[in-house]
A and B are shown apart, each in its own frame.
Chain A
């Protein structure tokens, strides 16, 4: 951190908090919206391909374009932070729906069939088997989205919203590189911290991966086998067939 940032810490801190809000809210809301959509549409071919096409179309809209057009469409004020929140939420949903599909596809078919065979209903299987096994891929995708969001918020500064990005616009107008550097360093730090937090959350929800040489899926299946009395039933069935 350079001297300018320390001397002006109260003002910088306010921008930092605004930046944090503008980046975190869309990430959390976006992932929370995308997960059920992904779970619901994953096995419906047509709906799924429509979702993929729609999400890539949303993603082609440049962020600056979306920031300036949203007030026209929504009737919000141009300087309302909600425009940035909605725009970034849209991107997050678009990206996370695709990540959810990929993450669910990465669950081994054998595992899913085994869960069905031991009597899981499709919903129970989705929540108790598919979703937990999809977490590593989901986490990876969410980390990319989160880091991108932290960086993209700053573009909002050119229309007067955008947390630390305002250090760029005012620093540029005042011909003051130190101010811009403060913004750059803080945004990078914020992104790294956000990225680490999501990685840690992902790891907390996948205890079977830690230090495992086995594939995550095999580990999960073993854990299931030990924990569930139903698996005994599966063995019985397999034994009888033999």
Chain B
């Protein structure tokens, strides 16, 4: 099985063309990216408002948990039968999958920011808008990106089922292989999806580290800022 798998990947003809690996990969990333984008447009503002005001927490937590139970396969097949569009059903199913972890990340991130920092910002005369953008969001970034990481993982993994309703993506290898009893192809699809998920998860794990507040990992990589600091005065050693 492993030998067949290597042979499949080594064959250049399996990579090119509309049914090639590269195109399947691009399709997979397109469905996932689109769903995550729409999910973020819904979840981020909602999470910011609820996290900042503390209103509607109970509803959102309950709703998010119930949405986790919604099976994507069922929702997608139902929508395919109810409407003629090919793209909307799987994207809708993936958006509903992406919203709970995104919402939870943003909401929990904002709500968990140290209250004394928020109060201090208010005491300094910051407006609510400034408190949100200059204190709460930077401090919440690791959890927000953590939510994005969870959402990405689920969406990329589940985008395979788009192939069940005759769309592209890496799931094609799994479904075509199952239909043809060609288990090498099934294996190729499974390994490629897993590899893609691992790579994306690793990249987002790096971003989580990067946005950790107080570490200066973001700021000090800006050469213009570094130059400005050098010019002004010898800065105190970073702890």
Contacts and interface: CB of A to CB of B under 8 A. Distances in A.
Interface of A: 56-57, 59-66, 68-69, 72, 143-144, 147-148, 150-151, 154-155, 157-159, 165, 167-169, 171-172, 175-177, 180-181, 183-184, 187-188, 191-192, 195
Contact of A72 (B74, B158, B178, B183): B183
Interface stretch (B37-45, B114-122, B191-199, B224-232): B191-199
Contact of A68 (B70, B75, B77, B186): B186
A69 B190 CA distance: 7
B162 to A, nearest CB: 11
Interface core residue of A62, A143, A144, A150 (most chain B CB under 10 Å) = A62
Interface stretch (B17-25, B78-86, B209-217): B78-86
Interface in B21-70: 65-66, 68-70
B198 A172 contact: no
Q: Chain B interface secondary structure, helix, strand, loop or mixed?
A: helix
A199 B72 CA distance: 25
Interface core residue of B1, B74, B156, B190 (most chain A CB under 10 Å) = B74
Contacts of A66: 190
A154 B71 contact: yes
Contact of A180 (B77, B189, B193): B77
B62 to A, nearest CB: 10
Contacts of A176: 81
A65 B152 CA distance: 16
Contacts of B74: 154, 165, 167-168, 180, 183-184, 187
Chain B interface: which size bin? Answer: 35 or more
Nearest to B80: A172
B174 interface: yes
A61 B197 contact: yes
A15 to B, nearest CB: 13
A188 B161 CA distance: 20
A192 B66 contact: yes
Contacts of B190: 62, 64-66, 68-69
B105 interface: no
A65 B191 contact: yes
A187 B198 CA distance: 29
B187 A184 contact: no
